């Protein structure tokens, strides 16, 4: 149960969260924070939850913080995350999940309103996110098939799309690369969901969106107009904007130096670097002093303490 008090003339609520097998006391100034939370390496590692992190986030959400999940993964529809995160006890609804595909859709709707049709090189989640904001989607697979059957240029086969959106397409092939490059050469905007070179699955690495983007860029003779995902700023900017907040007021909670920490720096947000994923203490120690995150947390209890401290900093009169 929350207990009320005061601190520096502000209301405070103290609550106790269950973090794995530990109880964590949080003292929260009553000013809500925007938490931009990476998923893999923070809330879970592959199939396994990181102990206690979901409970810490649930406690913050119960106290009024905005908890948004920001992931570079472009393959899934945002609603696909709800069952999994709910089962772990994390506070979630579909619109609390902003993948690089969702952010790409929001970016196109807001900044490229002339794009009514897009060619996608990606998985089902990318198609659904673009369709949700009213963009007609032609998959590279469908366009490649038509181009082959009717001996057409890829741009014609795709119905002259205004944009080519590229994420991870696990079934990428030569013909799909070809139609994407055709469309870009014909003038379609080239948009990358992200440029991660690889992404980890159970003890292996798979080629990331960046590998496919690089192949298309080479064939088309031009680089993407924009890349949405971390370390670039747009994923965090679109996520914050979707809840009426500013990304610079947010706290990024992530495990990647080259993605999460870099994106936080790009938007002027503070970052809590989690040591529960890809980053080691030695990699962190090698950072220049002005590149260090606002806080470091090795587990859920340290995350709770770091959030408590940053909340207090943020509300200091």
Closest to 107 measured CA to CA, from 266, 195, 238, 240: 238
Nearer to Mg ion, 200 or 207 (CB): 200
CB of residue 277 vs Mg ion: minimum separation in angstroms? 5
CA–CA separation, 95 and 78 (whole Å) = 7
Shorter beta-carbon distance to Mg ion: residue 55 or 274 = 274
CB-nearer residue toward Mg ion: 40 or 238: 40
- 40, 66, 196, 299: the active-site residue: 40
CA dist list (Å): 130 to 105, 106, 220, 228, 274: 5, 8, 23, 14, 31
Closest among 311, 279, 314 to 298, alpha carbons compared? 279
Name the closest residue to Mg ion (Cβ): 41
Q: Among all chains, which residue has been given the structure tokens 């014609």?
A: 156
Residues 22-61 close enough to bind Mg ion by CB under 5 A: 38, 40-41
Nearest in space to 237 (alpha carbons), one of 127, 80, 100, 40: 100
Per-residue x/- track, 208-247, Mg ion (CB under 5 A) = ----------------------------------------
Q: Is 65 in the site for Mg ion (CB under 5 A)?
A: no
Q: How far is the CB of 275 from Mg ion (least distance, A)?
A: 12
Nearer to Mg ion, 70 or 126 (CB): 70
Of residues 250-269, those binding Mg ion (CB under 5 A): 255
38 as an active site residue: the answer is yes
Q: Based on CB atoms, which residue is closest to Mg ion, 217 or 264?
A: 264
Cis peptide before 231 (omega within 30 of 0): yes
In the beta sheet, which residues pair with residue 69?
37, 97
β-pairing, 97-99 vs 136-139, is unpaired
Supply the minimum distance, in Å, between the C-beta of residue 71 and Mg ion.
Answer: 8
Which part of the chain contacts Mg ion (CB under 5 A), choosing from 151-159, 205-213, 262-270, 273-281? Answer: 273-281
Residue of 38, 66, 169, 196 marked catalytic: 38
- Residues with Cβ within 8 Å of 191's Cβ and at least 6 positions away in sequence, in order, are 104, 107, 108, 163, 164, 165, 166, 224, 225, 226, 227, 228
Q: Which is nearer to Mg ion, 224 or 277 (CB)?
A: 277
Q: Work out the angle between the directed axes of helices 300-314 and 53-62 (0-180°, nearest 10).
A: 30
Kindly determine how many residues on this chain lie close enough to bind Mg ion according to the rule CB under 5 A: 5
Closest contact distance (angstroms) between CB of 279 and Mg ion is 9
Minimum gap (Å) between residue 25 Cβ and Mg ion: 27
H/E run at residue 201: strand 198-201
To which H or E segment does residue 41 belong?
Answer: none
* Ranges within 94-123 binding Mg ion (CB under 5 A): none
Partners of 166 in the β-ladder: 121, 192
In this structure, what DSSP letter does residue 293 have? Answer: -
For the bound state, the minimum distance from the C-beta of residue 206 to Mg ion, rounded and expressed in Å, comes to 15
Residues designated as active site: 38, 40
Chain positions contacting Mg ion, by CB under 5 A: 38, 40-41, 255, 277
């Amino acid at each position: 149960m929350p207990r009320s008090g005061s601190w520096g003339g502000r209301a405070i609520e103290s609550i106790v969260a269950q973090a794995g097998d530990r109880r964590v006391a949080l003292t929260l100034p009553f000013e809500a924070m925007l938490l931009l939370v990476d998923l893999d390496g923070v809330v879970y590692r592959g199939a396994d939850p990181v102990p206690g992190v979901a409970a810490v986030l649930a406690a913050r959400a119960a106290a009024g913080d905005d908890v948004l999940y920001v992931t570079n993964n472009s393959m899934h529809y945002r609603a696909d995350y709800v069952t999994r995160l709910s089962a772990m006890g994390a506070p979630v609804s579909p619109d609390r999940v902003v993948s690089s595909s969702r952010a790409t859709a929001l970016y196109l709707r807001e900044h490229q309103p002339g794009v009514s049709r897009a060619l996608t090189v990606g998985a089902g989640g990318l198609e659904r996110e673009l369709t949700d904001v009213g963009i007609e989607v032609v998959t590279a697979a469908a366009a490649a098939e038509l181009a082959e059957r009717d001996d057409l240029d890829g741009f014609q086969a795709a119905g002259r799309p205004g944009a080519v959106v590229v994420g991870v397409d696990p079934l990428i092939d030569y013909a799909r690369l070809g139609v994407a490059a055709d469309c870009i050469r014909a003038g379609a905007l080239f948009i990358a969901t992200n440029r991660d070179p690889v992404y980890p699955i159970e003890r292996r690495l798979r080629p990331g969106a960046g590998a496919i983007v690089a192949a298309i860029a080479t064939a088309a003779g031009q680089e993407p107009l924009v890349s949405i995902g971390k370390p670039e700023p747009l994923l965090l900017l679109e996520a914050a904007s979707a809840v009426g907040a500013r990304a610079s007021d947010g706290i990024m909670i992530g495990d990647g130096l080259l993605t999460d920490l870099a994106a936080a720096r790009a938007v002027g947000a503070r970052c809590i670097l989690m040591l529960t994923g890809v980053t080691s203490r030695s990699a962190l120690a090698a950072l220049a002093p002005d590149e260090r995150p606002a806080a470091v947390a090795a587990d859920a209890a340290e995350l709770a303490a770091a959030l408590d401290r940053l909340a207090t900093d943020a509300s200091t009169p």
